[in-house]
Amino acid sequence: MNNYSLFTDASLNPKLKVGVGGYLLVPESFIETPPNLIKTTELNKIIVLKKFEDTSSTKLEVQTVLWALEECCAGSTIFGPGKLRIYSDSQCVEGLLSRRAGLENNGFHSRGGNRLLKNASLYGKYYEFYDRLKFEVTKVAGHTRSHSRNTVQHIFSFVDQKVRKTLKIWMAQLEAEKAEWYLYMIRCRDGTLYTGISNDVIRRFEQHQEMGKQGAKYLRGRGPLKLVFQKKIGSKSSALKLEQKIKKLSKSQKEIIIHTGDIN
């Protein structure tokens, strides 16, 4: 039976209490591959990512490991006792095994014994997995220089970069959803009307006027352009729905909206 290596990492936005966890599972023999022979395209095929909400730094680290174990072990019999090694840069994940006796003796309560630890249920599940799998945990040094990384550090760095990038994209999406979105209409030189949405109408109109790749393809070569209507809608999803409705209207109906300002 083959041994396996499980790489886990997580990245948190503490202000919003949201984060992204990721894991990558490979046969232990894969660790023997020289770093320069590992292809990122292959790692991209097997990495798994997940968003977590209402979390914290320590909680997210343990949540990610538990989720990875649940996913990898669901309906699988490949992980016999002692056949799995977990790689993580988390001091908490590594230290939980040595803290087990103390935590269980206190019933997962604080040292004073009057407060249940916030992550008590997660710690309990972690130990349940350990009793079943007898896994080992190896702490990986984080943020090593690329030229000095061994294979383990190279793989872990890949996972780290992916979770950070995914969190960054997610945060941008959340910010876009929170922003106030507008519906706008532009009159072209030939009199036709273009309808769009943006959370920054002036910037978007300037992009259209430049006639470059960032602007709408429909507007290229139709200048000069004139911004003739804009109205605050709210969320991006609401603006998108309204945009689709307005685009289906006739030109005369759009002219009425421009004249009256009434989008209803």
> What does the pLDDT read at residue 75?
65
Give the containing element (helix H, strand E) for 174: helix 151-178
> What does the pLDDT read at residue 103?
93
With cut-offs at 50, 70 and 90, classify the pLDDT of residue 144.
low
Contact 33, 112 (CB under 8 A): no
Whole-model pTM? 0.72
Average the pLDDT over 182-188 and give the result. Answer: 97
> What does the pLDDT read at residue 246?
96
Q: Identify the CATH number of the domain defined by range 4-175.
A: 3.30.420.10
Per-residue pLDDT tens digits for 203-252: 999 999 998 889 999 999 999 999 999 999 998 889 999 999 999 999 99
> What does the pLDDT read at residue 163?
97
> What does the pLDDT read at residue 36?
86
With cut-offs at 50, 70 and 90, classify the pLDDT of residue 263.
confident
| Local structure of residue 146 (DSSP, 8 states) | G
Q: Is the pLDDT of residue 11 over 90?
A: yes
> What does the pLDDT read at residue 73?
84
> What does the pLDDT read at residue 114?
79
Helix/strand/coil for 127: helix
Give the containing element (helix H, strand E) for 87: strand 84-88
> What does the pLDDT read at residue 178?
80
Closest CA to 187 of 205, 165, 214: 205
In the chain, where are the structural domains located?
4-175, 181-260
Q: How far is the C-alpha of 164 from the C-alpha of 56, rounded, in Å?
A: 15
Per-residue pLDDT tens digits for 59-87: 999 999 999 999 988 766 677 788 999 99
Contact 4, 83 (CB under 8 A): yes
| Interstrand relation of 48-52 and 136-139 (parallel, antiparallel or unpaired) | unpaired
Q: Who's near 209: CB < 8 A, 6+ residues apart?
A: 215, 223, 225
Q: Is the pLDDT of residue 1 over 70?
A: no
| Domains 4-175 and 181-260 are alike in CATH topology | no
Q: How far is the C-alpha of 208 from the C-alpha of 227, rounded, in Å?
A: 10
User: Within a 13 Å sphere around the CA of 56, how many CA atoms are in the beta-carbon half?
Assistant: 6
> What does the pLDDT read at residue 135?
94
Fold (topology level) of 181-260:
GIY-YIG endonuclease (3.40.1440)
> What does the pLDDT read at residue 92?
94
